[in-house]
Amino acid sequence: MAPLCDTVSAATDRCPRCGGAFHCGRQDSEPCACGSLTLSPALLTALRERYPSCLCLACLKALAAGAPLEPPAA
Ligand SMILES: [Zn+2]
Ligand SMILES: [Zn+2]
């Protein structure tokens, strides 16, 4: 399974889930942090459908642990 960054359409410096700043390594020589997490194929598919880019590491970790795709309403 390819990392999230390999399949999303846009690189961003802002997490589309929580709105927090983060650095996606999509265009760097080093692999992005999102590739270091093991996300289930079902979760990756859902993320690609919902978000145009990869998410910050905190969100990815939360999602990998079973958090909902949408953050709780503040
Ligand atoms: Zn986030
Ligand atoms: Zn990324």
The CA distances from residue 31 to 3, 22, 50, 66, 74, in Å, are 9, 14, 22, 24, 32
Compute, in angstroms, the gap from residue 25 CA to the centroid of ligand 1: 15
Q: Could you say which ligand is closest to the alpha carbon of residue 37?
A: 2
Residue 7: is its pLDDT beyond 70?
A: no
What is the number of the ligand closest to the CA of 71?
Answer: 1
Segment 24-56, tens digit of pLDDT:
777 777 777 777 888 888 998 998 889 888 888
Ligand 2 centre distance from Cα of residue 74 (Å)? 25
Does the predicted model carry a pTM greater than 0.85? no
- Closest-approaching ligand to the CA atom of 35: 2
